Chains A and B, each alone.
Chain A
Amino acid sequence: MSAREDILKAIAGNKPASAALPAISFDELIQYADVLAQFKTVLQSIGGVAEEIADFDALKKEIAIKKETGEWVINRIEALGPLDAVDNASATQLEKLDVAYIQGTLAVAENGCIWLYESQMGNRIVPFICQHLVIVVDAKNIVPTMHHAYQQLDTAKEGFGVFLAGPSKTADIEQSLVIGAHGARSLRVFLLR
């Protein structure tokens, strides 16, 4: 444990005089006339697709068809039917996963991201390892900025959580944008009215 003591002692000896934390004033933050429209625009700009829905009929039908055609679908949304338990599935098994349907906690208008708790994913790796990802968020749970998001969330409530914004992407080859790096190849977000 000597490194710990040495480091802390060196810091204590060298740290600058106490400086105050700033007060984050919400009055100074950007305001959107329509957070839903803003969210949709930004999500599209980062490679996602957003659609408003009034009920779950179309999504239920979609899942039924996918299952009939042999796709492996995991449902983590109660309104869509019984939840698939995936907590004990290994990465090797889940690597074959085609589509995951996950309920999001809230969405952020300024940057198109959605917060997912581990319990909503069923298994931490699901939103990353699935080929295609579908997330449903209540339209009333769209907040303007990240400050509002952290105000509403308890990000340390569970073992893991993520702000997820669009499909996986990279521009590491000559700055050419490619969708579908290591995570999901597509993201569709359904905003429930």
Chain B
Amino acid sequence: MSNTLNHAQAAANFIADEPRTNWHNETLWFVRQKRDKAAHGLPEWEKLREWASQIKNHTLSHLDEYLIEFEKNAKANGVQVHWAANGDEHNRIVYNIIQQNNVTKIVKSKSMLTEECGMNEFLHEKGIDIVDTDLGERIVQFRKEPPSHIVLPAIHLKKKDVSDTFHEHLHTEKDNHDPQYLTEAARQHLREKFIEAELAMTGVNFAVAETGAFVVCTNEGNADMGAHAAPIHIACMGFEKIIPKAEHLSVFLRLLARSATGQPITTYSSHFMKPRPGQQVHIVIVDNERSKQLGRTDFKNSLKCIRCAACFNTCPVYRRSGGHSYHTAVAGPIGSILNPNIDMRANADLPFASTLCGSCSNVCPVKIDIHDQLWKWRQVLVAEGYVDTTKKIGLKGMAYLFAKPGLYRFAGKAGRAVMRIFPFLVNNKLNAWYKQREMPAPPKQSFRDWYIKNKKS
């Protein structure tokens, strides 16, 4: 994704449609408010966040041991366990299973990991097409777009867009925008896909070391429809999905849906232990630079993430720039601290797509210090030379100026004079701050001059 627009450029395209931007902003804020209501309904909410954070910290500090324990128990349950160092190896493992079993009909429920690995595109090039079964994912798949949100994949679209897409692909009535009607059409279409599926893929929300079980959460029931209908099930997980014991699921299942959508729990929290008679179950455990992130002291906590997207919904930048502006599988604040680890050059813009307001850290159910990490990534990226030169020169000039009080006072005076006499020099298109803003009227004197004068009199 290295040739795509950077966040600021893509965001500019997104906000060109002002009513749609406002709708996007308000809709996600509404989801955030539902989250607040659900969180406030539990007096122990802050305690739950603390427990979740501690369980994840503990797990990261014993991660290799828990992965070995999980593998042992999953194998004892009759599940085949695969390991993939990177996205490409993950894709090849999946491809091999498809080839060995000679299957063509494949359904997939939501898995951000397969998006991260670019699996659909990889398999498409090999002539294998996968049917995404989450309603939002099916909509964006028809439109050949990536999901714009990890929980609400089609949140950037309006009813009319979905109606047009379904009219084209599912032959629904033209201009029938009724969500009930459109969902029913998708239900009929996808039921056919489920019952004829030869292989089902799912993500993994939690993998339990103690039992070798894995848990998949959905509201629609699509993960279960696929996994229980098809003779082969492949579940793909980043290795940070591991938790020590089944009892810890209580903490995470209480937090996950409340943080994500404000629901008390997802409709289905399915616990997969053993294959049913005659069924093959595979788990692919993926690293893809996660072990490197684990070694970055300032950023290792990002691996605690349970992918609830609360940080997306609360983020003033995400809400007003849309998920596609982030040009990565996982957008939003958490994506902006995960993606520079995977590719610093391609994702150097993302930690700057933030106001550092800290709201993301406040809603995070596992207490990741997201906004601190965004700020720290900026420093790493500048030090490593991944920030474009205009920003670097500007920041260097500012640092030079701030270190020299005499020069700073002169520059301030000169700046005020320039803004008064030649306002067009700052109020122009070259100044990014002037976009959607009026520059303030320059004061006649600086605060310092005012203070010295008033203190004396």
Contact B220 A174 (CB under 8 A): no
Known: A20-B58, A24-B51. A146 touches B44 (CB 8 A): no
Q: Give B contacts to A, CB under 8 Å.
A: 27, 30-31, 42-44, 47, 50-51, 54-55, 57-58, 60-64, 67-68, 77, 83-85, 89, 133-136, 139, 152-155, 157-159, 162, 179-180, 182-184, 186-187, 190-191, 194-196, 208, 210-213, 219-222, 224-225, 228-229, 239, 244, 246-247, 249-251, 253-254, 261, 263-276, 285, 287, 291-292, 294-295, 297, 300
A155 at the B interface (CB under 8 A) = yes
**Chain B residues in 8 Å Cβ range of A95:** 191, 195
Contact B224 A169 (CB under 8 A): no
The CA of A156 and the CA of B75, in the complex, are separated in Å by 14
CB < 8 Å: which of A6, A150, A169 contacts B247?
Answer: A150
The CA of A1 and the CA of B93, in the complex, are separated in Å by 12
CB distance from A174 to the nearest CB of B (A): 5
Known: A146-B254, A147-B247, A182-B225. A30 touches B44 (CB 8 A): yes
The CA of A95 and the CA of B194, in the complex, are separated in Å by 10
**Chain A residues in 8 Å Cβ range of B155:** 175
Name the segment of A51-59, A61-69, A71-79, A107-115 touching the other chain: A107-115
What are 22 inter-chain pairs, A to B, with CB distance below 8 A? A7-B85, A10-B287, A11-B64, A20-B58, A22-B50, A92-B196, A95-B195, A129-B229, A146-B254, A147-B251, A150-B249, A156-B210, A156-B211, A160-B273, A165-B265, A166-B267, A168-B268, A169-B267, A170-B136, A172-B152, A176-B159, A178-B179
CB distance from A118 to the nearest CB of B (A): 8
**Chain A residues in 8 Å Cβ range of B247:** 24, 147, 150-151
A125 at the B interface (CB under 8 A) = yes
Known: A3-B85, A174-B159. A15 touches B63 (CB 8 A): yes
Which residues of chain A from 153 to 193 have a CB within 8 Å of any chain B CB? Answer: 155-156, 158-176, 178, 180-184
The CA of A28 and the CA of B50, in the complex, are separated in Å by 13
**Chain B residues in 8 Å Cβ range of A46:** 263-264, 267
The CA of A164 and the CA of B368, in the complex, are separated in Å by 29
* Seed contacts A21-B54, A168-B220; 19 additional CB < 8 Å A-B pairs: A6-B85, A16-B57, A91-B194, A91-B229, A95-B191, A113-B265, A113-B269, A150-B247, A158-B274, A159-B77, A160-B273, A168-B221, A172-B134, A172-B139, A172-B152, A173-B135, A173-B154, A174-B27, A175-B31
Which residues of chain A from 78 to 115 have a CB within 8 Å of any chain B CB? Answer: 90-92, 95, 108, 110-113
Contact B273 A156 (CB under 8 A): yes
CB distance from B350 to the nearest CB of A (A): 23
Contact A169 B219 (CB under 8 A): yes
Contact A182 B300 (CB under 8 A): no
The CA of A51 and the CA of B346, in the complex, are separated in Å by 56
The CA of A4 and the CA of B239, in the complex, are separated in Å by 11
The CA of A181 and the CA of B246, in the complex, are separated in Å by 28
The CA of A4 and the CA of B89, in the complex, are separated in Å by 12
**Chain A residues in 8 Å Cβ range of B158:** 174
A side interface size, CB within 8 A: 72
Known: A10-B291, A146-B250, A172-B134. A181 touches B266 (CB 8 A): no
CB < 8 Å: which of B55, B221, B272, B295 contacts A183?
Answer: B221
Contact B244 A21 (CB under 8 A): yes
A8 at the B interface (CB under 8 A) = yes
The CA of A48 and the CA of B57, in the complex, are separated in Å by 37
**Chain B residues in 8 Å Cβ range of A181:** 135, 183, 186-187, 219-222
A33 at the B interface (CB under 8 A) = no
Q: How many contacts A-B (CB < 8 Å)?
A: 259
The CA of A176 and the CA of B254, in the complex, are separated in Å by 24
The CA of A180 and the CA of B184, in the complex, are separated in Å by 8
CB < 8 Å: which of B182, B265, B267, B285 contacts A168?
Answer: B267
| Closest Cβ neighbor of A24 among chain B residues | B51
Known: A160-B271, A160-B276, A166-B267. A11 touches B195 (CB 8 A): no
Contact A8 B276 (CB under 8 A): no
Known: A7-B239, A146-B253, A162-B270. A128 touches B221 (CB 8 A): yes
CB distance from A130 to the nearest CB of B (A): 11
